[in-house]
Structure 1
Amino acid sequence: MQNVIALNAAGQQGIITARATSDEMLLENIAGGDRTAMHTLYARHNVRVYRFVLRMLRDTSAAEDLVSQVFLDVWRTASQFEGRSQVSTWLLSIARFKALTALRQRKYEDIDQDDVMEIADQADTPEASLDRSRTSAILRACVAKLSPAHREIVNLVYYHEKSVEEVAGLIGIPASTVKTRMFYARKQLADLLKTAGIDSIAA
């Protein structure tokens, strides 16, 4: 009986610990000036944010600087998080805004926001359909050749595992546009891969 009580107590403690270290709880603590919570959130998400902005900026130094800016903003504005999305999505929305600002300063082409017909795409990720040991580098190089709008969708959906709805909210476009861009991005990616000598990819 004592063992059962001990196990139950341990289980409850585990639940409490998990809740205490959730992203949402960390943000609450950060809003109260908790530096340890800030370090924990940074350790948990800085790599994700860095990879996201690096694919947009293609400049390691600029990406590193921007990551610092993102988490400085988090420190300053943690109390403004309203819980309408996952914390990771909120972080990426801050990073995306800063990256787009940096791109505009470089006079990069703005992302096209035109809406087109709705086309659903439920296929598996391209990378999952390829021989990872041989084609990962080729796939990334081909993704880099996509238009900014298509590259951003691939980045968020495949590499950051965001849902269509999350991407729509993050970018500020209809979910139908996200699906359509994903459809055309996959078609363009298939053509690029074929040119690179890879003939098969999930359609």
Structure 2
Amino acid sequence: MQTAFAIKTAARHCVLAVQATSDEMLIDGIADGEKSAMHILYARHHVRTYRFILRIVRDTTLAEDLVSQVFLDVWRTASQFERRCQVSTWILSIARFKALSALRQRRFEDIEQDEVLQIADDRDDPETAFNRARTSDVLRTCLKKLSPAHREVIELVYYHEMSVEEAGRVIGIPQATVKTRMFYARKALAGLLRNEGIDSLAA
């Protein structure tokens, strides 16, 4: 019993130690060739990176391949990380570059982005569920009518919950430009929604 307890305690301490390890510490470890640090960083960020890429390329097989390429780049270039942004932002900036490069190679000229609203709650009554579904469909349609640049900034700030600064680092533009795009993107989206008879997304 004491042995089992000791094992469980040691395992718990290991888990807590891993959780307490910052992304920056992991990058330092990766730069030193520590594969365990790479495994932990991958476990933390591969799902978000996959979803981010998938929403750009709209191809599950391609997205999976690009995720592998992203983390291979992280492994190769960890020593070049300059700590000017969060590690997660740096990873997504690599992911964005690879996703857009893949689109150019496949001659895709537009970035489809949808599914930004949650699926209707099962507890909703039929009328509420219908209204939510209609709002979701209308929003997806309206988002597709925005320019790629405006859709991208809406995606980063609202779906990925990035700050203006983080979004700017991922896209590679100044914060002022992000704010400008956000202003015009919201204005354009609001106009498109009004034309569809929706004055508020909360409706």
* Pair in the same fold by TM > 0.5: yes
Corresponding residue SS for 1:71: helix
Number of the residue aligned with 2:129: none
TM-score scaled by length of structure 1: 0.72
**Hey, what does 2:35 align to over in structure 1?**
35
Instruction: Output the CA distance in 2 between the equivalents of 1:74 and 1:152.
Output: 23
Q: Is the 8 A contact 1:142 1:189 kept in 2?
A: yes
Report SS of the residue matched to 2:146.
coil
Aligned to 2:108: 108
Which residue number in structure 2 is paired with residue 64 of structure 1? 64
Residue 164 of structure 1 contacts residue 175 of structure 1 at CA under 8 Å; is this kept in 2? yes
Structure 1 pair 131–31 and aligned structure 2 pair: CA distance change class (3 A):
closer
User: Which residue of the partner structure matches residue 25 of structure 1?
Assistant: 25
Segments of 5+ residues of structure 1 without an aligned counterpart are 1-12, 112-125
> Separation in 2 of the partners of 1:180 and 1:99?
24
Please state how far the C-alpha of 1:66 moved relative to its aligned partner.
Answer: 0.7
- Tell me how far 1:100 sits from its aligned partner: 1.5
The equivalent residue for 2:8 is none
The CA RMSD measured in Å over matched residues stands at 3.0
Q: Which amino acid aligns with 2:87?
A: V
Which residues in structure 2 correspond to 1:75-114 (within 5 Å)? 75-109=75-109
Partner of 1:172: 172
Shift of 1:35: 1.8
2:93·2:169 contact (CA, 8 Å) conserved in 1?
no
Structure scoring higher RCO (CA < 8 A, sep ≥ 6) equals 1
Contact 2:146/2:188 (CA < 8 Å) preserved in 1?
yes
2:82 maps to amino acid: E
SS at match of 2:107: coil
Indicate conservation of the 8 Å contact 2:30/2:37, yes or no: yes
Q: Which residue of 2 aligns with 1:46?
A: 46
Residue 68 of structure 1 and its aligned partner are, at CA, apart by 0.9
Correspondence for 2:163: 163
Paired residue type of 1:175: Q
Q: Indicate how the Cα distance of structure 1 residues 101 and 197 shifts in structure 2: closer, same or farther if over 3 A, else same.
A: same
